[in-house]
Amino acid sequence: MSRRPVVAAATLLALGTLAACASEGPAGGGTTATTSTQSPTTSSSTTTTTSPTPTTTAPSTSCGQRLLASLSLEQKVGQLVMVGAQYGTTVAALDPVLRDHHVGGVVLLGTWNGAPAVSAATAHWQPVGAAAAGGVGLLIAADQEGGQVLHLRGSGFTATPSALSQGRAGTAGPTATAVAGELKAVGVNVDLAPVADTVAASFAPRNAPIGAYQREYGNDPATVTKAVVAAVGGYQNGGVSATLKHFPGLGRVTGNTDLTPNGTTDPTTTADDPNLEPFRAGIQAGADLVMVSSALYPKLDPVNRAAFSGPVVTGLLREQLGYDGVVISDDLGGALAVASIPTADRATRFVAAGGDIVLTGLPLTVPTMAGALRDRARADPVFAAQVDAAAGRVLELKAKRGLAAC
């Protein structure tokens, strides 16, 4: 996320998987032939053969699609919401939100101190979330990039270097592998990393969300691309989903979208921009999620911020770059860049643009967001189909991560 970084750290962890999902196999058909010979008094014989029975193959239905068919509309909508859990708040305080709105994801905010605290929280939330979602578990995420952005620290978590240091040292892959082990051990299955933004060296001090904290892997697309690909492999081979962020890039703005709407317009980025290459390469490396920023990119869409832009989310990310995985928003709850947009509209506009998971750091916004998604789906068949598509992608990811059984 692009919120103000919190100094923290990370060490080795492990999460359990639930059950694997199997695809249905094809059904085969056969052929039969019979030969009939006339009586010996006739000089000719006739052979008759039945028409072959066509071989038919039953269409394969994925685990995610079977799960989708088992959920109510309210449960489908819940899969499209990830809610913030602030350290210091009673863990059980989140239960009503998870239960009443079938919320499918949690993101750890603030500075969580020590692996025991994180493990206790995730172990508490998982059964609550699964009970509300027909047995489907929660995506539980953390911002564990390195350097100044480590929201999990203390015992069980290693203080890893900044992304800029990792990029220069060529250690992004091993670092991601180590972090994945630590996250998995405490029940965190998504890292909101790696940062795929490119920040020019001369601009970095003025780039409030990224460069000012050395969150970028490098100052040119080639360097960032190499590190991003290595990091995606490290996280996901370690059993934790990687998240490319902040599409299509926050390396050319001066304002932090979490803290201000000012300075959050990127007047440069185009659909064939070289700075998109780290995202393209991360997608090709198999990143499970892509986070879309809430900055404005006039050369891509002069009207809508990226999270609400069909040209950005569907046109550029899904169609041009070929991404068919889960798209998650940057914070649409308390971020000041989107504060002028009604809370309900933030959720529906994101999904309508082609997004999947609406991330909100504020639990109090969940009833409004979930209600708006549900009500529009009931009233608009086109939007209902978008909800189904989005929930299907989320469920496919959860099946992959062992959070659901088919």
pLDDT tops 50 at residue 375: yes
Q: Using 50, 70 and 90 to split pLDDT, how confident is the model at 405?
A: confident
Q: Which of 9-13, 218-222, 393-397 has the lowest mean pLDDT?
A: 9-13
Helix (H, G, I), strand (E, B) or coil at 181: helix
Helix (H, G, I), strand (E, B) or coil at 184: helix
Which pLDDT value is given to residue 361?
97
Mean pLDDT over all residues of the chain?
89
Residue 143: name the closest of 357, 331, 281 by CA: 331
What percent of the chain has pLDDT above 90?
A: 84
User: What is the number of other CB atoms lying within 10 angstroms of the CB of residue 315?
Assistant: 17
pLDDT tops 90 at residue 19: no
pLDDT tops 50 at residue 30: no
pLDDT tops 80 at residue 329: yes
User: What is the number of other CB atoms lying within 10 angstroms of the CB of residue 6?
Assistant: 17
Q: pLDDT tens digit string along 143-198?
A: 999 999 999 999 999 999 999 999 999 999 999 999 999 999 999 999 999 999 99
pLDDT tops 70 at residue 9: no
pLDDT mean over 46-71: 66
Residue 241: strand pairing partners: 190
**102: cis peptide before it, omega within 30°?**
no
Q: pLDDT tens digit string along 64-88?
A: 899 999 999 999 999 999 999 999 9
More confident call, 33 vs 80: 80
Tally of domains in the chain: 1
Q: pLDDT tens digit string along 83-109?
A: 999 999 999 999 999 999 999 999 999
Which pLDDT value is given to residue 8?
36
User: What is the number of other CB atoms lying within 10 angstroms of the CB of residue 47?
Assistant: 9
Which pLDDT value is given to residue 265?
98
Residue 319, phi then psi, degrees to nearest 5: -85, -50
Return all residues near 151 (Cβ < 8 A) that are at least 6 apart. 6, 8, 108, 109, 110, 111, 112, 142, 143, 144
pLDDT mean over 117-139: 97
> Which CB contacts under 8 angstroms, 24+ apart, belong to 267-270?
267/298, 267/299, 268/299, 269/297, 269/299, 269/300, 270/299, 270/300
Residue 361: name the closest of 76, 107, 87 by CA: 107
Domain annotation covers residue 381: yes
- Burial (CB count within 10 angstroms: exposed 0-12, middle 13-18, buried 19+), residue 242: buried
Which pLDDT value is given to residue 52?
47
Domain annotation covers residue 55: no
Which pLDDT value is given to residue 47?
40
Q: pLDDT tens digit string along 339-365?
A: 999 999 999 999 999 999 999 999 999
Token pair recorded at residue 140: 């539980």
Domain annotation covers residue 164: yes
d(Cα 117, Cα 140) in Å, to the nearest integer? Answer: 14
Token pair recorded at residue 85: 């859990």
Helix (H, G, I), strand (E, B) or coil at 390: helix
Residue with tokens 């995202």: 279
Instruction: Decide if 125 contacts 140 (C-beta within 8 A).
Output: yes
Which pLDDT value is given to residue 11?
34
Q: What is the DSSP string of 91-158?
A: GGGGHHHHHHH---EEEEES-EE-HHHHHHHHHHHHHHHHHHTTT---EEEE-EEETTEESEESTT--
pLDDT tops 90 at residue 315: yes
CATH of the domain at 333: 3.20.20.300
Directed axis angle between helix 366-379 and helix 381-400, to 10°?
120
Which pLDDT value is given to residue 59?
56
Residue with tokens 């990039």: 145
Domain annotation covers residue 182: yes
What single letter denotes the amino acid at residue 166? Q
pLDDT mean over 12-19: 35
Domain annotation covers residue 43: no
What is the pTM for the complete model shown?
0.86
Instruction: Decide if 155 contacts 115 (C-beta within 8 A).
Output: yes
DSSP 46: B
Residue 355: name the closest of 325, 381, 377 by CA: 325
Q: What range defines the domain where residue 190 resides?
A: 63-400
Domain annotation covers residue 57: no
Domain annotation covers residue 53: no
Domain annotation covers residue 34: no
pLDDT tops 90 at residue 313: yes
Q: Which of 27-36, 129-138, 192-201, 346-355 has the lowest mean pLDDT?
A: 27-36
